[in-house]
Amino acid sequence: MVSPVQCVERQLEVTDGGERCEQAVAGAVRGDGFSRADVRRWFEGGDVFIERDGRRRRAKKGDRVAEGDRLHWSQPAALIAPEPDAPLRVVLVSDAWVIVDKPAGQACAPVTAGETGTVAQALLGHYPEMAGIGYGPREPGLIHRLDNDTSGLLWAARSHQAFVQARAALTRGLVDKRYLLVCEGDLDDEGTIDAPVRTEGPTVRIDEDGRAATTRFRVLRRIGRRCLVEASASPAVRHQVRIHFAYLGAPLLGDLRYGGAEGPMRHALHASRIAWAGDDVLDGFAIDSELPADLSALMR
């Protein structure tokens, strides 16, 4: 969903000519957290102008700027707006952490300026101290992310120190992250999938030269070739669980991108557990989330 956002006018006086307009604007807004994709949309929307020799016209991405040119554009006043009235199912809150149970269909963070309804904006509305914490302005506080259609537990930090320590714990494999999924295939009762993955645009693929990825699993229940599985992956790279089960010949139900059969209205994946023992500074936790009704119905 996209809604109108307050905008501010920006301008840039060119001191060194020769680069493309798009590059010049992208460089000027990089510190504000905007991406090249955001800048591209401003050009496509006719929101960028070039002023030269007292004349002003709409700029195109490929235009080259010259010394003395002045670029004008309109950009959102804030990359994301806090949403204090947005619903947020909080299952743990402390001085350091907030853990929420995200419903399927909700994005963790906005992809484009003006997008609303994400977990990040709800968190920022309820916990404004998260602003400036994390990977960037689009995802304040978020320690990891889930796909839009993956439901379940999402971990966020309320301080920079908490964020740094949580990321270190994830990287060292000290966080217990588990998923429940429904797939179809001939699986052993338990096993380990070691298969490196490589990101290619919106998808990933198995690639021996890709990033190392390990998923452990055990089958909890079977109905014919359909399986309810608990999988463990920490840290998990993008789409890891989904591509690993497709690699085994047992893709998730509803995961049409990776060869799954039609089933639910989404891929059958739920982030069911997140636990950390803590350290000398920050308290640990262990949180579980039950399989949602739409996925539970697949095993009846």
Dihedral in degrees, nearest 10, Cα atoms 103, 238, 111, 86: 20
Burial code of 21-32, b = ≥16 C-beta within 10 A, e = fewer? bbebbbebbeeb
CB atoms < 10 A from the CB of 144, how many?
20
The catalytic position among 38, 69, 147, 255 is 147
Note the helical H segments in 20-155. 21-29, 36-44, 119-126
DSSP string, 15-46: SS--SBHHHHHHHHHGGGT--HHHHHHHHHTT
- Residues 162 and 143: beta-carbon distance below 8 Å: no
Note the helical H segments in the chain. 21-29, 36-44, 119-126, 160-171, 240-247, 293-296
**CA 163/CA 167 separation, integer angstroms:** 6
Active site annotation includes 147? yes
Write out the catalytic residue numbers: 147
